[in-house]
Amino acid sequence: MTLPRVRFAPSPTGYLHVGGLRTALYNYLFAKKHGGTFVLRIEDTDQTRLVEGAVKNLIEVLEWAGLTPDESPELNGKGGGAFGPYVQSKRLEIYKRHCEILVKSGNAYHCFSTAEELEEVRKLQQKQGLQPKYNRKWLPESLGGGAPESEIKRRLDAGEPHAIRMKVPDNRIIKVEDIVRGTVEFASETIDDQVLMKSDGFPTYHLANVVDDHLMQITHVIRGEEWLSSTPKHVLLYEFFGAAAEPQDNWAPPLFAHLPLLLNPDRTKLSKRQGDVAVEDYRAKGYSKEALINFVALLGWNEGGGSEQEIFSMDELVEKFSLEHVGKSGAVFNIEKLDWVEQQHIKRSTDAVLAAKIKPMLLDALKNKSAELPVEVITGDLYLEQVAAQMKERVNFISEFITFSSYFFFEPETYEPEAVKKRWTPETNALLTEFGLQLEAVQPFAAAEIEAALKTFAESKGLKPAALVHPLRLSTTGTSFGPSLYHLMEIIGKDACMRRIKRAALRITADAVPS
Ligand code: GLU
């Protein structure tokens, strides 16, 4: 097979929708799996929907997700490719030329109907219970319509504003071959004479999309199901162009794969109203790209062959992805599942990988808060890997390594009041102070030695270790739960432990302690 060329062709609406991320991902996976090319093309022919900075933002988000295109709009000296420009508003001449071919071959015609007239026709059809469709008022006599050629010519010569519409053939069944859905048939009667070129000189999506897919040598069109109903129009356009072209210019349509709808948990179409839909929202909430990509990959695809694997790395997805295992039925976007995938990725990551992710977040946190231990120590790989090892079973997000276990980096400022009430007795201060002093002699300051010291001390006082363990955790971390106390003490080190025990004894004053 020739190497596939696929494209992600979003309109620049200002943010990347999670559905768009899925489309981009499936295109990317398909291209990478087969050694093909992943193209990013910006479809900005609807100038009323333009958003400043949208393209830059889109490219940035795709790169963050690891879906860097092989060909894309040129921006800041990056991108480009042999089939550019990759922004449709920079290709207007190309569309104009192609539209003229269709007019010449009798597959398209000029339409002078005004917006008001069209609206009236639409209302009337609605009243009559008919499907709204252009009434072909300007279909020329030469194409079987009622508009005299002389009147069309007169208006064109006078420079009257007009659109150009495709002439959909009558009494035809148009077949769309779709990899996901099989053969889908459309009766031509149900298809409108679609506007191809608007009066402002901009093409519509349909014309630009087909022309670009052809010129950019796209082999597979992988896109959302909402475009399926447009596809018969596209199939006709390929046919029209093919009939008018030289034999060596092959206008055979690409292969189509329409991806299932994304649904809210109540099975309505995924919408902003029921939650976040922008990739950036999930990124800002702290989801990792690995988890988001994994989760989105499962929205419509499964490995098949009875596999129950749900956690995949990008490399595994590239290896295992196939369009044959994309399903037809809508895929529910379930946040609890995303959270689970995120946790699984954290659990399976090596300590070194986690340390590298924690570090930038910690550096950020250190801008607003000063650390207790030297910054070069707590931001060092070794330290962060130890924190990762202790906490990775306990956190749901990378950011929680810092928020849930801030005591690895910052001195506790508060002590859980409930735990103080429960665990602190009037004797605790004296006991902990005494034990704190004994820590000086623990050598090496490692989990096993700290544990042994605590047990010996408790025994000498006729106490159970628990009588000391709980207040010790409170004084060193401010919390009543967490990873192994002895390990965390080893990580934060002797000096910090001794200092924290002293400070807690001063801060947890008698009035906080029930007598
Ligand atoms: N511009 C369309 C969109 O915004 C592209 C559809 C297609 O891939 O053909 O999704």
Report the distance separating Cα 356 and Cα 288, nearest Å.
13
Would you call 337 a catalytic residue per the annotation? Answer: no
Average pLDDT over residues 216-229: 97
* Residue 52 pLDDT: 78
Task: Assess whether 59 and 202 both reside in one domain.
Answer: no
Task: Tell me whether residue 339 is in a domain.
Answer: no
Identity of residue 151: E
Catalytic residue, chosen from 78, 272, 285, 421, is: 272
Q: What is the mean pLDDT of residues 503-513?
A: 75
354 and 367 in a common domain: yes
Q: Is residue 52 part of a domain?
A: yes
**In terms of residue numbers, what domain contains 456?**
417-511
Q: Which residues of 434-470 are buried (b: 16+ CB within 10 A; e: fewer)?
A: ebbeebeebeebebebbbebbeebbeeeeeeeebbbb
End-of-domain residue from the set 259, 282, 302: 259
Residues 318 and 452 in one domain: no
Q: Are residues 75 and 161 in the same domain?
A: no
Which atom of ligand 1 is closest in space to residue 7's alpha carbon?
8
Rounded to the nearest angstrom, the distance between the alpha carbon of 7 and the centre of ligand 1 is 10
CA pair distance 36, 30, nearest whole angstrom: 8
Predicted confidence at residue 125, as pLDDT, reads 94
Q: Does the residue 341 lie in any domain?
A: no
Domain CATH code at residue 251? 3.90.800.10
- Taking all residues of the chain, what is their mean pLDDT, rounded to a whole number? 94
Same domain, 435 and 310: no
The beta-strand segments (E) located in 341-444 are: none
Q: ∠449-453-455 over CA atoms, to 5°?
A: 115
Please list, in sequence order, all residues whose beta carbon lies within 8 angstroms of the beta carbon of residue 57, skipping any fewer than 6 positions away: 14, 15, 16
Do 95 and 84 have their domain in common? no
Confidence of residue 178 (pLDDT cuts 50, 70, 90): very high
Shared domain check, 158 and 119: yes
Task: Give me the residue label for tokens 């419509």.
Answer: 300
What's the rounded mean pLDDT across residues 15-40?
A: 97
Q: Please determine, for residue 273, whether its predicted confidence score (pLDDT) is greater than 80.
A: no
pLDDT at 62 over 90: yes
Which of 43, 222, 230 has the most ligand 1 atoms within 8 A of CB, as the residue to mutate? Answer: 43
446 pLDDT higher than 60? yes
Q: What does the pLDDT read at residue 513?
A: 54
Distance 137 CA to ligand 1 centre (A): 30
* Res 1 pLDDT > 80: no
- Per-residue tokens: 504: 């807690």
CATH number at residue 59: 3.40.50.620
- CB-based burial of residue 158 (10 Å sphere; 0-12 exposed, 13-18 middle, 19+ buried)? exposed
Q: Which of 47, 227, 231, 234 has the most ligand 1 atoms within 8 A of CB, as the residue to mutate?
A: 227
Domain boundary among 259, 294, 321: 259
Confirm whether 338 is domain-assigned.
no
Alpha carbon of residue 424 to chain centroid: 48
Specify the higher pLDDT residue, 340 or 512: 340
359, 385, 407 - which closes a domain: 407
CATH of the domain at 444: 1.10.10.350
Both 245 and 272 in a single domain?
A: no
d(CA 221, CA 74): 22
Q: Do 119 and 239 lie in a common domain?
A: yes
- Whether this prediction's pTM lies above 0.75 is answered by yes
> Residues enclosing ligand 1, CB less than 6 A?
9-11, 43, 205, 209, 223, 227
* Residue pointed to by tokens 């986690």: 354
CA of 9 to the centre of ligand 1 (A): 5
CATH number of the domain bearing residue 375: 1.10.8
CA 472 to centroid of ligand 1, rounded, Å: 60
Map residue 336 onto helix, strand or coil.
helix
Q: What is the pLDDT of residue 286?
A: 87
Number of domains in the chain: 4
Tokens linked to 506: 């001063």
Residue among 51, 209, 213 whose CB has most ligand 1 atoms within 8 A, to mutate: 209
pLDDT in tens, 129-141: 998 999 999 999 9
Residue 514: pLDDT above 80? no
